[in-house]
Amino acid sequence: MENILSVLVGTVNRFLWDYLLIYALLGIGLFFTLYLGAPQITKLGAGFKSVFGGLFAKGDKDDKSLSQFQALAVAISAQIGTGNVAGVATAITAGGPGAIFWMWLSAVLGMSTIFAEALLAQKYRVVSHGKYIGGPAFYITHGLTPKIGRGAARFLSGFFSIALIIALGFIGNATQANSIASAVTIAFDVPSLAVGIVLAVLAGMVVIGGVNRIANIAQFVVPFMAVVYILCAVVILFEFSDHIVPMFNHIFTAAFNPEAVLGGAAGIGMREAIRFGVARGLFSNEAGMGSTPHAHATADVKHPVQQGMAAFVGVFIDTILVCTATALIILLTDANLSGEQGAAVTQFAFNKAFPGFGSQLLAVCLTFFAFTTIIGWYYFGESNIRFLFRGRHLGIYRALVLLAIVLGTLGKVDLVWSLSDMFNGFMVIPNLIALFLLRKEIRAIYDDYLAQKKAGQDLSYQYEFHEFHDKG
């Protein structure tokens, strides 16, 4: 039965990722880059200043919202996870070193996509149980109803919500737990089931406190874990400094001509490099997938564009910094030739770079990465449970997520990753449709911001809150 499921999932993924979503994601990213004048490049400095410039400044924050930095921390907590460790390793072993180039390209273009997502999430957010919530289901429903009709909009938003709940809340969190269990078992010889139970208990203690507790943990853990991991990569760069230039040459050569680097026997072509680079890049930074807008909708900012800039800062940190750190670690140590799979590839690299404690060091890093992703993805799923059921059935959803975490530690990594790819792909489709159809609204919000900045005005935006009735 498992073999049949693997074949079916593999067939669906080949259609989604080889023929549809690669071109759709790169295309929508290129479109918004040109349509909006490359804000991810022209406003990148302003984005960092907006997020980190007033980090320690005291200010009045709306009780219904999170601070801009807290919202970004929740988003990054979801973005920085096993995709940065196991995902990058999978991209390199399956797509060759050239997959990293396509991961970078998809990230740069994806920064404009996630910018657009965050703008819409801010515009169409609602208040539920005294807190802002939002995301694609909300901007699909309220933004597309005048364009395609209420029935079609409700279908697309419902399809997105169900796909997200399965993709992130259940399958995705099982993937995170799977990678944690694999790393911890190798490093500390702890049974996978025990790891799953402990993860479920810790996650339950956090998520029961809602988005504020998730944000309070994320804003402290995320910066610390990212800095520690990047410092590890810097140490490895010095240790293998004579391999740096050949490594980058391999990346760029293999992006367009894998056989020149790997030889024909490797069976890796340019399509594989693109497919796995884009797929693993999406799994990591989530640009275009429609997940992080749930976090960005909660931010207390004067204008939606400020949170849009924070959103592409998140992609920069996730992919350009953290994913690149993993790629350097793997390629400099030749761990991609070790024959290992998933997180074990990166673990092999850490063992080679830090003999005696490398495996344990990565296990700790991966545990923090994946655990914060679990609580972030739980919240994204909760937002969609609220959308579908108006506040009811949260207890059932919470229990099923915790069960998925435990079961995820017992599954085969190849099938779990394949299922993640498939449901991530299902999420992308309605979200990209909405982004393209709402492009004029996105452009209008950005033009409003540019006009206010040019006139030297204090930033402001007239939010229009849409009807949302809780039943639970």
Cα distance from N-terminal residue to C-terminal residue, the chain: 39
Arithmetic mean of pLDDT, 127-151: 91
Give residue 155's pLDDT band: very low, low, confident or very high (50, 70, 90).
Answer: very high
User: What is the reported pLDDT for 61?
Assistant: 59
Give yes or no for residue 417 having a pLDDT over 80.
no
Arithmetic mean of pLDDT, 34-62: 82
User: What is the reported pLDDT for 82?
Assistant: 75
Q: Check: CB of residue 351 under 8 Å from CB of residue 154.
A: no
User: What is the reported pLDDT for 219?
Assistant: 86
pLDDT in tens, 191-213: 989 999 999 999 999 988 888 88
Highest average pLDDT, of 21-30, 220-229, 296-305, 386-395, comes from: 296-305
Using CA atoms, how far apart are residues 194 and 206, in angstroms rounded to an integer?
Answer: 19
User: What is the reported pLDDT for 4?
Assistant: 82
Which residue is associated with the tokens 């030749």?
A: 334
Q: Check: CB of residue 380 under 8 Å from CB of residue 92.
A: no
pLDDT in tens, 276-295: 787 777 777 888 899 999 99
Arithmetic mean of pLDDT, 66-76: 89
User: What is the reported pLDDT for 117?
Assistant: 97
Using CA atoms, how far apart are residues 331 and 404, in angstroms rounded to an integer?
Answer: 33
Give residue 37's pLDDT band: very low, low, confident or very high (50, 70, 90).
Answer: very high
User: What is the reported pLDDT for 54?
Assistant: 64
Highest average pLDDT, of 76-90, 240-254, 312-326, 400-414, comes from: 312-326
User: What is the reported pLDDT for 237?
Assistant: 86
* Chain CA centroid to CA 393, Å: 26
Using CA atoms, how far apart are residues 199 and 175, in angstroms rounded to an integer?
Answer: 13
User: What is the reported pLDDT for 418?
Assistant: 80
Give yes or no for residue 456 having a pLDDT over 50.
yes
Which residue is associated with the tokens 């393209």?
A: 436
User: What is the reported pLDDT for 358?
Assistant: 86
Give residue 261's pLDDT band: very low, low, confident or very high (50, 70, 90).
Answer: low
Q: Check: CB of residue 306 under 8 Å from CB of residue 65.
A: no
Give residue 30's pLDDT band: very low, low, confident or very high (50, 70, 90).
Answer: very high
Give residue 446's pLDDT band: very low, low, confident or very high (50, 70, 90).
Answer: very high
Burial of 242 (0-12, 13-18, 19+ CB in 10 A): exposed
Give yes or no for residue 214 having a pLDDT over 60.
yes
Percent of the chain with pLDDT over 70: 92
Give residue 63's pLDDT band: very low, low, confident or very high (50, 70, 90).
Answer: low
Which residue is associated with the tokens 């009735």?
A: 469
Give residue 265's pLDDT band: very low, low, confident or very high (50, 70, 90).
Answer: very low
Arithmetic mean of pLDDT, 113-139: 92
Give yes or no for residue 264 having a pLDDT over 60.
no
CA distances from 265 to 258, 262, 269, 338 (A): 11, 8, 11, 16
Indicate the average pLDDT of the chain: 86
Rg of the chain over all Cα atoms, to the nearest angstrom: 21
User: What is the reported pLDDT for 267?
Assistant: 54
Highest average pLDDT, of 58-62, 68-72, 226-230, 432-436, comes from: 432-436
Question: Bridge partners of 299?
Answer: 66
The residue with greater pLDDT, 207 or 86, is 207
Give yes or no for residue 49 having a pLDDT over 70.
yes
Q: Check: CB of residue 136 under 8 Å from CB of residue 160.
A: yes
